[in-house]
């Protein structure tokens, strides 16, 4: 791990988090609002300079407050993963939403129609023309292209063009993709696959007279290639994790530790032997779902670069390594995966900008 030199710069966050939580029981998810604001401003500025619209993926935070801050920083709209997220953000005043998940079934179409009736500008992910037929009037289609993740979507080029031609005229807004393979392969390669797959597909469609207005990419590890993407014809980016960053992003080299704005304060509850400590944060407070290859252990313990979170159970983290930590001491853990960690908490404690306060994770928990 090359984290050592970076750790000192997070001492401010750790100190603020520990002070704010002093009177509370742990684990508690804490956000450094100063770092958060810096992350929001940096990405907004970066998108602007790259010539891309910014449509952040709000599944990372599920927070109306952060959604409003993203819009204040100039986001063109938000991306949501579920209808519930879209409804919560619409309630919070967001008027332009892309739901990056195929809206399958009468129930989801009904909820989409209700959102459309509220005057929200809406687009949804589709990779099958039959799904688009049942969409409420005014809801546009972002066709999903599979640029290497092999999850949802049609292959770039002619397969995508064939699918899009099955849509009724006027339905299509554009094409989108998510290069999730960027968590496993070289990031530069994933970034190229991402924008080239969209550009190739758009070229085939436009040659056939189809109006493709948006080309939208989105994966936090490939966000750094936004300018190259814009030069290749991409119009929009949808990063999510940049608001908080996390230990996976740090391990990938996509973010530095001082940009991590989300931590979980945990207490040492057992010191059974030298070199082993047990914290009261487990998979019900720091998620254990996703761990990139370069990350050692399930997160980063701020200020303790020699400690490794070896195992997580539901309410326990077993930490190995030599450290002067006794029962009752508290630490701040940067979780491996911010998006699923936030989803475990009813609210986040904001520190670093005025009095600590709670912000609800209002969009968590339903489909």
Residues in contact with a second copy by the rule CB under 8 A: 23-28, 59, 81-83, 101-102, 104-105, 107-108, 111, 127-128, 130-131, 146, 150-154, 180, 267-272, 276, 278, 280, 283-285, 287-290, 311-316, 318, 327-328, 339-340, 343-346, 365-367
Tokens of 327: 């029962």
Query: Where in the chain does DSSP place strands (E)?
Result: 28-32, 53-54, 78-80, 96-99, 121-126, 140-144, 172-176, 214-217, 236-237, 262-273, 276-279, 300-301, 308-312, 317-320, 330-334, 347-351, 357-360
Residue placing its CB nearer to a second copy in the complex, 44 or 333: 333
Residue placing its CB nearer to a second copy in the complex, 52 or 131: 131
Residue placing its CB nearer to a second copy in the complex, 193 or 343: 343
CB of 230 to a second copy, least distance (A): 26
Cβ–Cβ contacts within 10 Å for residue 238, how many?
A: 26
Cβ–Cβ contacts within 10 Å for residue 136, how many?
A: 17
Please confirm whether the linkage preceding 27 is cis (ω < 30° from 0). yes
Beta strand 172-176 with 140-144: parallel, antiparallel or unpaired?
Answer: parallel
Tokens of 366: 């339903």
Residue placing its CB nearer to a second copy in the complex, 39 or 154: 154
Residue placing its CB nearer to a second copy in the complex, 52 or 223: 223
CB of 228 to a second copy, least distance (A): 25
Residue placing its CB nearer to a second copy in the complex, 51 or 134: 134
CB of 143 to a second copy, least distance (A): 12
CB of 303 to a second copy, least distance (A): 19
Q: What is the DSSP string of 222-246?
A: GGGGHHHHHHTT--EE---GGGT--
CB of 38 to a second copy, least distance (A): 25
CB of 256 to a second copy, least distance (A): 24
Residue placing its CB nearer to a second copy in the complex, 55 or 111: 111
**Closest to 66 measured CA to CA, from 275, 366, 339:** 339
Instruction: Please report which helix (H) or strand (E) contains residue 71, including its range.
Output: helix 64-72
Tokens of 201: 């597909």
Tokens of 365: 């928990």
Tokens of 193: 């696959």
CB of 46 to a second copy, least distance (A): 24
CB of 157 to a second copy, least distance (A): 15
How far apart CA 134 and CA 129 sit, in angstroms, is 10
Residue placing its CB nearer to a second copy in the complex, 347 or 353: 347
């Amino acid at each position: 791990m090359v984290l050592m030199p970076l750790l000192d710069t997070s001492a401010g966050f750790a100190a603020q988090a520990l002070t704010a939580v002093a009177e509370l029981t742990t684990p508690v998810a804490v956000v450094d609002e100063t770092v958060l604001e810096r992350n929001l401003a940096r990405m907004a500025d970066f998108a602007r300079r790259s010539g891309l619209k910014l449509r952040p993926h709000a599944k990372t935070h599920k927070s109306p407050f952060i959604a409003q801050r993203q819009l204040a920083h100039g986001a063109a709209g938000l991306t949501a993963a579920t209808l519930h997220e879209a409804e919560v953000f619409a309630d919070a005043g967001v008027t332009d939403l892309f739901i990056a998940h195929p809206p399958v079934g009468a129930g989801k179409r009904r909820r989409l129609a209700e959102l459309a009736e509220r005057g929200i500008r809406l687009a949804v992910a589709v990779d099958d023309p039959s799904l688009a037929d049942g969409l409420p009037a005014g809801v546009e289609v972002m066709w999903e292209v599979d640029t290497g993740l092999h999850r949802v979507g049609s292959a770039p080029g002619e397969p995508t063009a064939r699918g899009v031609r099955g849509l009724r005229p006027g339905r299509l807004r554009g094409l989108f993709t998510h290069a999730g393979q960027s968590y496993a392969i070289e990031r530069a390669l994933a970034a190229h696959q991402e924008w080239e797959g969209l550009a190739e597909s758009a070229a085939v469609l436009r040659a056939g007279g189809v109006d493709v207005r948006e080309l939208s990419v989105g994966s936090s590890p490939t966000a750094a290639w936004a300018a190259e993407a814009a030069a290749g014809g991409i119009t929009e980016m949808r990063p999510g994790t940049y608001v908080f960053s996390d230990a996976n992003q740090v391990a990938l080299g996509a973010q530095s530790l001082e940009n991590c704005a989300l931590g979980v304060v945990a207490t040492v509850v057992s010191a059974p032997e030298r070199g082993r400590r047990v914290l009261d944060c487990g998979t019900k407070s720091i998620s254990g779902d996703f761990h990139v290859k370069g990350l050692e252990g399930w997160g980063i313990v701020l200020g303790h670069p020699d400690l490794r979170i070896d195992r997580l159970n539901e309410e326990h983290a077993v930490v190995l390594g030599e450290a002067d930590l006794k029962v009752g001491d508290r630490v701040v853990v940067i979780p491996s995966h911010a998006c699923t960690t936030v989803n475990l908490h009813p609210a986040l404690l904001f520190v670093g900008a005025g009095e600590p306060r709670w912000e609800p994770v209002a969009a968590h928990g339903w489909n």
